[in-house]
């Protein structure tokens, strides 16, 4: 950081405009350097932090993906600067996280052997209270191509409270219940993110939703503030929104920040559609039923049916209140937009458009 040459007091840093902001669901995604964003966040205001920092493993090695030898490199952000500088970076961002944690707040950091020892040591240096280290076992790790090491099949998560005095949140009973009535151990077996979790795009080190769900459920409560300084493809935000936590995510790379926003938007939409279940023709109860599937119609109760109505309808969801603000029957999205532009609410910003196709059959 440049030295202050003027001796004038430095203005407190101000938060930039978030790249994605949903006040209704208390969600903000910032695109930028987490050190700058964290410096502008007030002290003592976050309940839970999940951090998946650079692993410092992208140093031109090889690994195996889908049976092929591929480069291990994840991106420029993951290159090591050497052990001293890497450790200094870990200490810096951990200190920034510690400042914004509430007195009873806690932090989880995930990492491989390349980074996790430095993270643990930095936590000790900074006076965090170490609570647990979790061994996350990956059931299908890539084979070790060199055959000179055991197959790397685990990642470590360190869980620590802000300081020695912290009375951290731990939802012990819930964890025991999830674990079939037995105390949950510090060894977790969880698979890689499923295809569904990558339907909006991929991040090279994306964490599974199941992992974040367990962490958020274990160490926070509904309404708490969850922060992820290295948000990548937004797994933490997706889970936090689902579990009704307020969320702040920070991601350096614009493409990943946008991926995170897309994933979260889909999540919010699902919440909105459920909330709109009173809308007469939205038919949310059968949201996941594919009525174009002939088997669905070959119902024994209605062997002969006659198509009596077919309609294609568009629902325009407003950004501010996330409600249906305009609906129209139209043959195409273009035609629906045309009609929307001529309606009294056309000045409202649109969050999304839902298209439904309905066919009504009468039994004969
Ligand atoms: C290990 S990945 C996180 C993956 C994430 N947990 C997920 O599930 O998708 C680390 C991310 O941190 C971002 N990053 C690296 N340095 C950063 C910094 N100084 N500030 C903000 N983001 C940073 C990288 O672009 C990368 O996407």
User: How many Cβ atoms are within 10 Å of 78's Cβ, its own excluded?
Assistant: 19
Which pLDDT score, from 0 to 100, does residue 3 have? 39
CA distance 239 to 247: 10
Residue 205 beta carbon below 6 angstroms from any ligand 1 atom: yes
* Interatomic CA distance for residues 156 and 112, integer angstroms: 6
Task: Give CA–CA dist 75/78, Å, rounded.
Answer: 6
Structure tokens at 96: 């920034």
Q: What is the chain's mean pLDDT, rounded? A: 85
pLDDT of residue 117: 97
Pocket test for ligand 1, best of 96, 230, 237 (most atoms within 8 A of CB): 230
**And the tokens for 146?**
């060199």
Mutate to test the pocket of ligand 1, among 252, 257, 261 (most ligand atoms within 8 A of CB): 252
- Dihedral over Cα of 258, 59, 160, 214: its sign: positive
Q: Give the ligand 1 atom nearest the CA of 77.
A: 15
**Ligand 1 atom 16: residue of nearest CA:** 77
Q: End-to-end CA distance of the chain: give it in Å, rounded.
A: 78
Strand partners, 134: 157
Spatial distance between the Cα atoms of 174 and 153, rounded to a whole number of angstroms: 27
Helix, strand, coil shares of the chain, percent, nearest 5, are 30, 25, 40
pLDDT tens, residue by residue, 60-78: 776 767 777 777 676 777 7
Q: Which residue has the higher pLDDT, 151 or 351?
A: 151
Asked whether 263 lines ligand 1 (CB < 6 A), one says no
149 with 141: CB under 8 angstroms? no
Residue 281's φ and ψ, nearest 5 degrees, are -105, 10
Indicate if ligand 1 lies below 6 Å from the C-beta of 93: no
pTM summary value: 0.74
Quote the tokens at residue 72.
Answer: 């291990």
Q: How many residues make up the chain in this entry? A: 364
Going by pLDDT thresholds of 50, 70 and 90, the confidence category of residue 194 is confident
Q: Whose CA is nearest to atom 13 of ligand 1?
A: 230
- For the segment 49-63, the average pLDDT, to the nearest whole number, is 82
Q: Which domains does the chain have, with CATH numbers?
A: 20-275 (3.40.50.150), 284-363 (no CATH)
> Which atom of ligand 1 lies at the shortest distance from residue 33's CA?
20
Q: Does residue 203 line the site of ligand 1, with CB under 6 A?
A: yes
Q: Measured from the CB, is residue 193 less than 6 Å from ligand 1?
A: no
**Mean of pLDDT values over 93-108:** 98
pLDDT on residue 67:
72
- For the CA of 260, the closest atom of ligand 1 is 9
335 Cβ below 6 A of ligand 1? no
CB 29 within 8 A of CB 18: yes
pLDDT reading at 276 higher than 80: no
Place of tokens 């995604």: 29
CA distances in angstroms from 141 to 70, 150, 151, 189, 193, listed in the order given: 14, 11, 7, 12, 13
Higher pLDDT, 345 or 166: 166
Q: Are 236 and 247 in contact (CB under 8 A)?
A: yes
CB 274 within 8 A of CB 284: yes
Q: Does ligand 1 lie within 6 Å of residue 133's CB atom?
A: no
pLDDT: is 103 or 82 the higher one? Answer: 103
């Amino acid at each position: 950081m440049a030295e202050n040459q003027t001796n004038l007091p430095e203005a407190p840093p101000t938060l930039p405009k978030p790249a994605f902001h949903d006040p209704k669901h208390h969600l903000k995604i910032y695109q930028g350097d987490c050190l700058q964003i964290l410096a502008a966040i007030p002290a003592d205001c976050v309940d839970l932090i999940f951090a998946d920092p650079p692993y410092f493993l992208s140093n031109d090695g090889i690994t195996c993906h889908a049976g092929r030898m591929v480069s291990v490199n994840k991106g420029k952000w993951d290159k090591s600067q050497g052990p001293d500088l890497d450790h200094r970076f870990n200490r810096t961002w951990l200190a920034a996280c510690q400042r914004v944690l509430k007195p009873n707040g806690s932090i989880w950091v995930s990492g491989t052997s390349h980074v996790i020892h430095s993270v643990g040591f930095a936590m000790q240096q900074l006076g965090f209270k170490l609570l647990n280290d979790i061994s996350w076992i990956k059931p299908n790790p890539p084979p070790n191509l060199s055959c000179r090491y055991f197959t790397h099949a685990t990642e470590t998560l360190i869980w620590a409270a802000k300081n020695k005095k912290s009375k951290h949140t731990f939802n012990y009973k819930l964890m025991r219940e999830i674990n079939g009535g037995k105390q949950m151990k510090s060894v977790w077996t969880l698979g890689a993110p499923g295809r569904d979790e990558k339907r909006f795009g991929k991040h090279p080190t994306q964490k599974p939703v199941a992992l974040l769900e367990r962490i958020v459920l274990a160490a926070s409560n509904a309404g708490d503030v969850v922060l992820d300084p290295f948000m990548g493809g937004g797994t933490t935000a997706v889970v936090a929104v689902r579990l009704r936590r307020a969320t702040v995510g920070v991601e350096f790379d614009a493409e990943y920040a946008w991926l995170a926003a897309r994933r979260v938007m889909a999540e919010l939409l699902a919440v909105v559609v459920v909330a709109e279940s009173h809308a007469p023709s939205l038919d949310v109860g059968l949201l996941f039923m594919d009525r174009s599937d002939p088997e669905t119609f070959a119902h024994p109760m209605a062997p002969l049916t006659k198509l009596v109505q077919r309609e294609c309808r568009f629902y325009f969801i407003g950004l501010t209140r996330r409600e249906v603000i305009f609906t129209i029957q139209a043959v195409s999205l273009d035609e629906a937009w045309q009609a929307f532009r001529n309606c009294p609410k056309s000045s409202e910003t649109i969050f999304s458009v839902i298209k439904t196709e309905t066919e009504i059959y009468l039994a004969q």
